[in-house]
């Protein structure tokens, strides 16, 4: 069994783990299976197929466990990406550039101009001029 998800969970910093928990609680109404898997990995250190199928009350059969693992991996990667967007000035500039491109495609030029001004201000402050050339 591939242990990529185990390695990733244990390489998360404390702040990344906290952000992941907040990220999931903001996105999900009830506790999803992949979050149960995440907690299981933190508690036991490994993924045990037998324990997992018992812990999830047999709602997920063994065929779906790999799907749940993939969901967990994807959600962790999305939360890490969002965390970096919020904590890194370079990522904030990239985010603004993406917003600008979308707004221009939707012909919302005045709003795109506001994001461009903001991106320029951040880029000049942190001397990330090459990002503006995109």
User: Mean of the pLDDT values across residues 42-64?
Assistant: 65
pLDDT for res 1? 45
Cα atoms in the 13 Å half-sphere on the side-chain side of 53:
8
81 and 34 within one domain:
yes
Torsion of CA 79, 81, 85, 90, to 10 degrees: 160
Which token pair is 77? 């990667």
16 and 39 within one domain:
yes
110 and 63 within one domain:
no
Q: Note down the domain range covering 118.
A: 89-133
Largest pairwise CA distance in the chain? 57
Q: Give residue-wise pLDDT tens across range 89-129.
A: 888 888 888 999 999 999 999 999 999 999 899 888 888 87
Whether 96 and 103 have beta carbons less than 8 Å apart is answered as: no
Total structural domains in the chain? Answer: 2
pLDDT for res 40? 84
Which token pair is 56? 């999830």
| pTM confidence score | 0.65
């Amino acid at each position: 069994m591939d242990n990529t998800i185990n390695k990733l969970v244990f390489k998360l910093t404390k702040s990344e783990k906290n952000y992941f928990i907040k990220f999931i609680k903001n996105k999900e109404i009830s506790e999803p299976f992949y979050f149960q898997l995440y907690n299981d990995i933190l508690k036991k250190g490994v993924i045990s197929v037998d324990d997992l199928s018992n812990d999830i009350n047999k709602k997920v059969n063994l065929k779906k466990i790999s799907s749940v693992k993939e969901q967990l991996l994807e959600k962790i990667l999305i939360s890490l990406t969002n965390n970096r967007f919020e904590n890194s000035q370079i990522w904030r500039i990239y985010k603004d550039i993406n917003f600008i491109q979308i707004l221009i495609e939707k012909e919302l030029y005045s709003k795109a101009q506001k994001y461009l001004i903001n991106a320029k201000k951040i880029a000049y402050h942190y001397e990330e001029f090459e990002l503006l050339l995109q």
